């Protein structure tokens, strides 16, 4: 799954109707509803405030609303953009100020879909990937150099804990684990311990 990199807002003019779309990262359905409520308060005088959101690790929660537009012409095409991009943790609100010219069902579908698509493009995309978390235990003598080399690698240093030894938590793609452990043994002369710390979801730049 993917998510957006940042919040974004765009405005499109379609036959004198204003379509203002905002997309926001949300942690869960409650966060999506709070974002929608805030947008509706801000644009209380709009003709429509149509919505769509997807939440859950696998995008299992999906909701949309036409907010008075003809059924299936606003919320559904908005939600379809989020689905097609395989997004989760994202809410979208398209505010419409009617400009006096009816767009017809096809025109509405295109306008609402285009508004969300444009806002998502502006927000940018991140891919959400599962990573194994490895605790690397090193003594203070070698910890500084090891941490520096890990930060320069393609793996992600998540935390550093200082105690009797130094523990560096590193997120590693599971297929890379054998190579990662071999590299650790080489650079430390085998003088390092590792412990499995479960898995975590990380966000990386999505391929263009």
Q: Give strand pairing partners of 133.
A: 171
- If asked whether residues 110 and 177 sit together in one domain, one would say no
> What is residue 186's DSSP assignment?
H
Q: Are residues 109 and 6 in the same domain?
A: yes
Segment 177-200 shows an average pLDDT of 90
Asked if residues 63 and 82 have their Cβ atoms less than 8 Å apart, the reply is no
Q: Which of 88, 123, 158 is the last residue of a domain?
A: 123
Q: Quick one: pLDDT band at residue 85, thresholds 50, 70, 90?
A: very high
Given a cut of 90, whether residue 124 has pLDDT beyond it is yes
Q: Grade residue 205 by pLDDT with cuts at 50, 70 and 90.
A: confident
Rounded to the nearest integer, the mean pLDDT of the chain is: 94
The region of weakest confidence among 33-42, 84-93, 95-104, 141-150 is 141-150
Return the percentage of the chain with pLDDT > 70, whole number. Answer: 99
pLDDT at 142: 87
Total domains in the chain come to: 2
169 shares its domain with 109: no
Q: Are residues 110 and 75 in the same domain?
A: yes
Q: Are residues 156 and 196 in the same domain?
A: yes
Structure tokens at 6: 């940042």
- The average pLDDT across 174-191 equals 90
pLDDT of residue 204: 80
Same domain? For 108 and 138 the reply is: no
Predicted confidence at residue 128, as pLDDT, reads 87
pLDDT tens-digit readout, 12-21: 999 999 999 9
Question: In this structure, are 119 and 169 located in the same domain?
Answer: no
In angstroms, how far is CA 28 from the centroid of its own chain? 12
Query: Which residues are CB-contacts of 167 (< 8 A; sequence separation ≥ 6)?
Result: 135, 136, 137, 138, 160, 161
- Of 123, 140, 156, the domain-final residue: 123
Q: Contact 91/27 with Cβ under 8 angstroms? A: no
How does DSSP assign 21-85, residue by residue?
EEEEE-SSHHHHHHHHHHHHHHTTTSSEEEEEEEESTTS-EEEEE-TTSSTTSSHHHHHHHHHHT
Picking from 77, 95, 123, the residue at the C-terminal end of a domain is 123
Query: pLDDT per residue over 133-149, tens digit each?
Result: 999 998 888 889 999 99
Q: What is the pLDDT of residue 207?
A: 65
Number of Cβ within 10 Å of residue 48's Cβ equals 21
For position 160, which CATH number holds? 3.30.70.240
Q: Do 43 and 118 reside in the same domain of the chain?
A: yes
* Statement to judge: residues 60 and 73 lie in one domain: yes
CA gap 16, 70 in Å, rounded: 19
Q: What is the CATH number of the domain that holds 92?
A: 3.30.230.30
Is the pLDDT at 208 greater than 80, yes or no? no
Who has greater pLDDT, 208 or 155? 155
pLDDT at 115 over 60: yes
- Print the domain residue range for 162: 128-205
> Do 97 and 134 fall within a single domain?
no
Question: Are residue 74 and residue 15 in the same domain, yes or no?
Answer: yes
Do 166 and 134 reside in the same domain of the chain?
A: yes
**Helix (H), strand (E) at residue 147:** helix 140-151
Q: Percentage of the chain surpassing pLDDT 90?
A: 80
């Amino acid at each position: 799954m993917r998510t957006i990199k940042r919040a974004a807002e765009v405005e499109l003019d379609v036959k004198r109707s204003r379509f203002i779309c905002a997309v926001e990262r949300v942690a869960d359905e409650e966060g999506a509803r709070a974002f929608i409520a805030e947008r509706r308060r801000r644009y209380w005088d709009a003709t429509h405030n149509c919505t769509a959101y997807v939440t859950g690790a696998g995008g299992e929660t999906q909701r949309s609303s036409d907010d008075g537009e003809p059924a299936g012409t606003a919320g559904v095409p908005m939600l379809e953009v989020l689905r097609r991009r395989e997004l989760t943790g994202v809410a979208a609100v398209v505010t419409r100020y009617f400009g006096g010219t009816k767009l017809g069902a096809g025109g509405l579908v295109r306008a609402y879909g285009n508004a969300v698509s444009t806002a998502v493009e502006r927000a940018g995309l991140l891919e959400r990937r599962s990573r194994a978390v490895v605790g690397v235990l090193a003594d203070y003598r070698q910890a500084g150099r090891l941490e520096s080399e890990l930060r320069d690698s393609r793996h992600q240093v998540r935390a550093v804990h200082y105690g009797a030894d130094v523990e560096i938590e590193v997120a590693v793609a599971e297929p890379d684990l054998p190579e990662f452990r071999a590299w650790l043994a080489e650079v430390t002369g085998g003088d390092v311990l590792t412990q499995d710390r479960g898995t975590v979801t990380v966000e990386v730049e999505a391929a263009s």
